[in-house]
């Protein structure tokens, strides 16, 4: 005699609680998607040692135009550096997705590295232009001046404690979804899906009772 297939415990509990297979299926899908998202994000946080392993680029301050030229190229050449040997030598644009790791120590950050750092309530991703005893001075490849200027109106260098991470790689255009798909939007979509499913279940129940 063939064995009866055991029902998934989550499905069995959900059907007892919600009373409708459709609503149960939708709830299970939402739980699985959320579990996958937070599982992958958790693994990246642990592996890359930062709470923000991926970020979307929200400006064009690192954009290279023309034949791979950038405004700060001559600065590095004049200082004796070869920009072609820098990490991410071709820059990136708004809408790209960057992958970063947590800072590995003050001495691990050198001229040419691309870092993400806090500036007020924003996260900025620019290249290290100078390393000083008490911090760093940065600039966007497409910008004509330092973020922490020297001279009249001098600003103190960027403190190591403000560095969120070092950029490891860039995934072109994948950041557009992140810029658009905010946590607030995700919560709204889930709420709408559940509301529509509940309405369908209610209508179906009413029609069954009338028939």
User: Residue 109: left if φ>0, alpha if ψ -120 to 50, beta else—which one?
Assistant: beta
What's the pLDDT score for residue 50? 76
Q: What is the pLDDT of residue 32?
A: 79
Distance CA 181, CA 51 (A): 19
Give the strands of the sheet with 97-101, arranged side by side. Answer: 54-56, 97-101, 163-171, 114-119, 122-132, 135-139
Per-residue pLDDT in tens (0 to 9) along the chain, 211 residues: 555 555 555 555 444 544 556 666 767 777 777 777 677 777 767 766 777 788 889 899 999 876 556 777 888 998 999 999 999 998 999 999 999 988 888 889 999 999 999 988 889 999 999 999 989 999 999 998 899 988 766 789 999 999 999 999 999 988 766 655 566 666 677 677 777 777 776 776 676 676 6
The reported pLDDT for the residue numbered 75 is 87
């Amino acid at each position: 005699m063939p064995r009866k297939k055991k029902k998934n415990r989550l499905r069995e509990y959900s059907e007892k609680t919600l009373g409708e297979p459709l609503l149960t299926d939708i709830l299970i899908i939402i739980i699985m998607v959320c579990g996958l998202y937070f599982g992958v994000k958790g693994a990246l946080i642990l592996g890359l040692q930062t709470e923000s392993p991926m970020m979307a680029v929200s400006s064009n301050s690192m954009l290279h135009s023309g034949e791979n030229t950038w405004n700060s190229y001559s600065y590095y050449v004049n200082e004796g550096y070869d920009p072609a040997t820098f990490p991410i030598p071709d820059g990136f644009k708004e809408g790209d997705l960057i992958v970063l790791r947590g800072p590995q120590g003050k001495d691990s950050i050198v001229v040419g590295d691309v870092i993400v750092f806090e500036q007020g309530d924003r996260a900025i991703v620019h290249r290290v232009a100078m390393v000083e005893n008490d911090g760093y001075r940065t600039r966007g490849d497409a910008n004509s001046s330092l973020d922490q200027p020297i001279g009249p109106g001098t600003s103190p260098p960027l403190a190591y404690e403000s560095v969120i991470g070092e950029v490891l790689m860039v995934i072109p255009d994948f950041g557009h979804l992140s810029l658009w798909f905010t946590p607030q939007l995700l919560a709204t979509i889930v709420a709408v899906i559940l509301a529509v499913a509940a309405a369908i279940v209610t209508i179906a129940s009413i029609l069954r009772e009338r028939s």
